[in-house]
């Protein structure tokens, strides 16, 4: 079984090598000692969310301090080609399901989108609450998948804000059931950023498609089936990753 992963602040692991020591404190130490019931001698992965990651062995375990000795560095370098999922807000937690699966599949960035046809609306305090929920989903999924480099969660955007994201150096694709170009066949850049745009339950409006295409986006399809808002993004990430990142 893969060693469990725990977190430290960015910079904590900088310069650490074999036989150096790193400590878990606070909630992470409590979780390791009382929930995971970590024992001396067991292996633990430690990451800082920004790509630094070490494999360690537990030397001492208590509820407020877990002392770990580094056995190896297993850093996760930044990819040359970043994948960002723009996920429209969706009802019944389907947007959160998409965020969870995308995180496990290795997405590099996630942007919540208030689309024209989104039934869920993040207004006022709901925006902060929604971002907190997505942050918690990312943390759980990143820990479960043992990620050393975590996806960055952007601020909520409207369609105007999404158009602004289609900037030079970005290759935007809009997943749309009426598109004729399969995502599996498009030319991909070797570096920069790929933007994968997924609409809500009611789909992306014609006006939104027009604006995104005018900004340089390409409508693409995944297959003959119409996927839910919760599965389209993760499926697209898997398609692109299988063409290069997973080889």
Residue-wise pLDDT tens digits, 148-185:
999 999 999 999 999 999 999 999 999 998 899 999 99
How confident is residue 201, by pLDDT bands cut at 50, 70 and 90? confident
pLDDT of residue 148: 94
Interhelix angle 125-144/94-104, rounded to 10 degrees, is 40
**Residue 1 clears pLDDT 80, i.e. is over it:** no
The predicted pLDDT at position 55 comes to 97
- Tell me the average pLDDT of the chain: 94
What pLDDT does residue 223 have? 82
Last residue of a domain, one of 73, 97, 127: 73
Q: Are residues 65 and 85 in the same domain?
A: no
**pLDDT grade, residue 246 (50/70/90)?**
confident
Task: Quickly state the pLDDT bin for 124 (edges 50, 70, 90).
Answer: confident
- 99 and 201 together in one domain: yes
Domain boundary among 48, 73, 98: 73
Both 43 and 163 in one domain: the answer is no
Asked if 165 contacts 109 with a C-beta cutoff of 8 angstroms, the reply is no
pLDDT higher than threshold 80 for residue 125:
yes
Distance CA 39, CA 42 (A): 6
Identify whether residues 144 and 232 lie together within a single domain. yes
CATH number, residue 123: 3.40.1280.10
Q: What is the mean pLDDT of residues 42-71?
A: 96
Cα(186)–Cα(167) distance, integer angstroms: 19
Q: How many structural domains compose the chain? A: 2
- Residue 218 has a pLDDT of 97
Task: Give the CATH number, domain containing residue 29.
Answer: 2.40.240.20
Domain residue limits at 11: 5-73
* Domain boundary pick from 19, 54, 73: 73
Q: Residue 166's closest CA among 186, 187, 196, 190?
A: 196
Q: 14 and 129 share a domain?
A: no
Please identify which residue in the block is written with the tokens 């929604």: 130
DSSP secondary structure of 153-218: EPPPB-HHHHHHHS-TTEEEEEE-TT--SBGGGS---SSEEEEEEE--TT---HHHHHHHHHTT-E
Q: How far is C-alpha 117 from the chain's CA centre?
A: 24
Please check the confidence at residue 48 and state whether its pLDDT lies above 70. yes
- Residues 140 and 69 grouped into a single domain: no
Residue 66 in this model has a pLDDT that exceeds 90: yes
CA separation for the pair 3, 110 (Å, rounded): 26
> Does the pLDDT of residue 53 top 90, yes or no?
yes
């Amino acid at each position: 079984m893969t060693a469990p992963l725990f977190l430290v602040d960015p910079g904590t692991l900088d310069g650490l090598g074999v036989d150096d020591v790193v400590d878990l404190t606070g909630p992470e130490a409590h979780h390791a000692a009382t929930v995971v019931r970590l024992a001396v001698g067991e292996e633990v992965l430690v990451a800082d969310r920004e790509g630094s990651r070490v494999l360690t062995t537990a030397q001492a375990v208590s509820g407020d301090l877990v002392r770990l000795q580094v056995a190896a560095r297993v850093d996760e370098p930044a990819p040359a080609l970043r994948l960002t999922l723009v996920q429209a807000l969706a009802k019944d937690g389907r947007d959160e399901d998409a965020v969870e699966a995308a995180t496990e599949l290795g997405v590099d960035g996630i942007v919540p989108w208030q689309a024209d046809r989104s039934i869920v609306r993040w207004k006022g305090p709901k925006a902060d609450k929604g971002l907190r929920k997505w942050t918690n989903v990312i943390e759980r999924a990143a820990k479960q998948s043992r990620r050393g480099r975590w996806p960055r969660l952007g601020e909520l955007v409207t369609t105007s804000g999404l158009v602004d994201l289609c900037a030079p150096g970005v290759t935007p694709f809009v997943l749309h059931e009426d598109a004729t170009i399969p995502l599996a066949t498009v030319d991909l850049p070797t570096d920069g950023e790929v933007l994968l745009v997924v609409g809500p339950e009611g789909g992306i409006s014609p006006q939104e498609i027009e604006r995104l295409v005018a900004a340089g986006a390409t409508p693409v399809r995944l297959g003959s089936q119409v996927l839910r808002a919760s599965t389209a993004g993760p499926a697209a990430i898997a398609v692109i990753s299988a063409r290069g990142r997973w080889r």
